[in-house]
């Protein structure tokens, strides 16, 4: 797909470097960016051009952590902490996805919402139900987004109505992988043990076998909440830590096992070192961490230590499915962290938060999240005329205002791998 988009183009080159070209040209060649230019280079002059005038053009946003079935109750049930919240609101809601008619309607709403927003890539949790998970994968694929979708595993410490037998969980997961891997254009399976408390050691070992057999990535939750962490310590007193439990089963990053761990609010010391050494992606979910009163993840420290970080909305722990919103929440949370917890950890800046929501998380998907040459062509076109002001704004100023004030209605067009989402 060869084409040119014209407009005000803005993207991250690194965590601190934001590039912008006013009234520039973004070239798409064979589904990849061929770069951003002030004038169209000679060799691309024949490509069809879409002129977006004064709109902003930025890379698609990457949501490293979102729960599709929880979209139904976002904005509700924000009065409990994690473990009670799961028991009271989450598990009963997820149980409804045993019913395919329910899944059809609820996942239809979810896929529509993701399609309308600025997200182009996502790591998505479904439920333990394989058929409903397949249905979600088909809907997301039809929406044109690039996603990893996980059928969850839960064989202990879960209510009877939402618990699998260990062997059955591994078997059903293997069959689901066989049915879905390589079958859809943009949607792939990802192993998703819900979190250590709901997954026995035997189940974890079974999942590692599947991981090796199929070469799948992994997503899960880590060190989100004090009671959860204490529970993991009780369940695995010999482990040396929460991250170490996943690691002992080979489900914690490393060359052959790309992994996303959501939250990491309380990761420190040897767990932090393991995150870095194994190249695990932290999905920072500031809104969820606030809503569930989990705490504030030390993102500045993670970045300084070379840990890979992206952003997640964690719907329905987070109410908003917007990564713009996650960017502004990340900045605000980092200010409280700096003020209240550690004065060495300076607040995140707008370019840093933008990096986290684009290139930072995008790296999990390959060369994604930037317009540097060779990156996959995911782009969002934003018309910010409804943020009119008497002031004259730079491109960077306009980006900051979009991050703080964005609405889905400002999204004019969205491209994924060079294709326009219709
Ligand atoms: N830990 C285990 N399951 C969940 C979940 O659904 N949401 C969040 N925020 N944390 C979890
Ligand atoms: Fe989550």
H helix runs in 278-419, sequence order: 286-291, 299-304, 323-340, 350-355, 361-362, 395-405
According to the model, what pLDDT value does residue 409 have?
86
Q: How many CB atoms lie within 10 A of CB 140?
A: 25
Q: Does the pLDDT of residue 1 top 90, yes or no?
A: no
Separation of CA 13 and ligand 2 centre (Å): 29
Q: How far apart are the C-alpha atoms of 325 and 327, rounded to whole Å? A: 5
Q: How many CB atoms lie within 10 A of CB 9?
A: 26
Helix (H) or strand (E) holding 211: helix 201-214
Cis peptide before 135 (omega within 30 of 0): no
Q: Does the pLDDT of residue 81 top 90, yes or no?
A: yes
Ligand 1 within 6 A of 65 CB?
Answer: no
| 339-348 per-position pLDDT tens digit | 999 999 999 9
**DSSP letters for 63-102:** EEEEEGGGGGGTTS--SS-HHHHIIIIIHHHHHGGGSHHH
**Mean pLDDT for all residues in the chain:** 98
Ligand 1 within 6 A of 194 CB?
Answer: yes
Q: 146 — phi, psi (to 5°)?
A: -100, 120
Interhelix angle 323-340/395-405, rounded to 10 degrees, is: 90
According to the model, what pLDDT value does residue 217 have?
98
257 contact partners, CB below 8 Å, separation of at least 6: 211, 217, 218, 250, 251
Nearest CA to ligand 1 atom 9: 317
| 148-199 per-position pLDDT tens digit | 999 999 999 999 999 999 999 999 999 999 999 999 999 999 999 999 999 9
Q: Which ligand is nearest to the CA of 287?
A: 1
Q: Which ligand is nearest to the CA of 82?
A: 1
Separation of CA 247 and ligand 2 centre (Å): 19
Separation of CA 221 and ligand 1 centre (Å): 7
Residue count of the chain:
422
Ligand 1 within 6 A of 314 CB?
Answer: yes
Separation of CA 228 and ligand 1 centre (Å): 10
Helix (H) or strand (E) holding 111: helix 100-116
| 15-58 per-position pLDDT tens digit | 999 999 999 999 999 999 999 999 999 999 999 999 999 999 99
| 91-137 per-position pLDDT tens digit | 999 999 999 999 999 999 999 999 999 999 999 999 999 999 999 99
> What is the average per-residue pLDDT within 392-409?
94
Q: Which ligand is nearest to the CA of 197?
A: 1
Measured from the CA of 221, which atom of ligand 1 is nearest? Answer: 1
The encoded tokens of residue 335 equal 């200010």
Ligand 1 within 6 A of 192 CB?
Answer: no
Handedness of CA 82, 314, 67, 232 (dihedral sign): negative
Helix (H) or strand (E) holding 116: helix 100-116
According to the model, what pLDDT value does residue 406 have?
87
Nearest CA to ligand 1 atom 5: 86
Q: Which of 81-90, 258-267, 405-414 has the lowest mean pLDDT?
A: 405-414
Ligand 1 within 6 A of 224 CB?
Answer: yes
Q: How far apart are the C-alpha atoms of 371 and 359, rounded to whole Å? A: 10
Nearest CA to ligand 1 atom 11: 221
Ligand 1 within 6 A of 121 CB?
Answer: no
């Amino acid at each position: 797909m060869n084409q040119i988009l014209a407009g005000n183009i803005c993207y991250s080159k690194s965590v601190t470097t934001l590039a912008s070209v006013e009234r520039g040209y973004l070239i798409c060649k064979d589904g990849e960016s061929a770069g951003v230019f002030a004038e169209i280079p000679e060799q691309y002059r024949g490509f069809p051009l879409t002129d977006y005038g004064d709109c902003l053009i930025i890379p698609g946003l990457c949501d490293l952590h979102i729960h599709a079935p929880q979209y139904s109750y976002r904005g509700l049930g924000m009065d409990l902490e994690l473990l009670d919240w799961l028991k009271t609101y989450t598990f009963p809601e997820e149980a409804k996805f045993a019913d395919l008619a329910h899944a059809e309607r609820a996942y239809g709403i979810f896929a529509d919402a993701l399609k309308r927003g600025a997200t182009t890539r996502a790591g998505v949790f479904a439920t333990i139900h394989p058929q409903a998970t397949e249905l979600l994968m088909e809907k997301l694929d039809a929406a044109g987004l690039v996603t990893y979708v996980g059928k969850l595993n839960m064989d202990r410490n879960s209510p009877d109505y939402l618990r699998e037998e260990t062997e059955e969980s591994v078997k059903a997961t293997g069959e689901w992988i066989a049915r879905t891997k390589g079958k859809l254009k943009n949607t792939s399976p990802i192993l998703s043990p819900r979190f250590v408390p709901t997954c026995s050691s035997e189940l974890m070992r079974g999942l590692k076998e599947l991981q090796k057999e199929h070469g799948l990535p992994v997503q899960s939750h880590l060190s989100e909440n004090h009671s959860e962490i204490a529970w993991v310590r009780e369940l695995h007193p010999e482990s040396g830590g929460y991250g170490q439990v996943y690691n002992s089963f080979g489900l914690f990053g490393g060359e052959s096992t790309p992994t996303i761990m959501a939250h990491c609010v309380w990761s420190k010391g040897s767990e932090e070192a393991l995150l870095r050494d194994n190249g695990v992606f932290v999905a920072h979910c500031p809104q969820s961490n606030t809503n569930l009163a989990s705490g504030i993840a030390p993102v500045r420290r993670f970045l300084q230590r070379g840990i890979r970080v992206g952003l997640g909305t964690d719907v329905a722990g987070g109410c908003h499915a917007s990564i713009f919103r996650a960017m502004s929440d990340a900045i605000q949370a980092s200010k409280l962290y700096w003020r209240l917890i550690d004065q060495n950890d300076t607040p995140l800046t707008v370019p840093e938060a933008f990096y986290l929501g684009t290139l930072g998380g995008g790296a999990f998907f390959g060369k994604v999240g930037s317009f540097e040459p060779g990156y996959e062509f995911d782009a969002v076109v934003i018309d910010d005329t409804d943020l009119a002001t008497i002031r004259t704004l730079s491109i960077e100023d306009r980006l900051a205002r979009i991050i703080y004030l964005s609405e889905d209605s400002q999204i004019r067009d969205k491209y994924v791998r060079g294709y326009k989402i219709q």
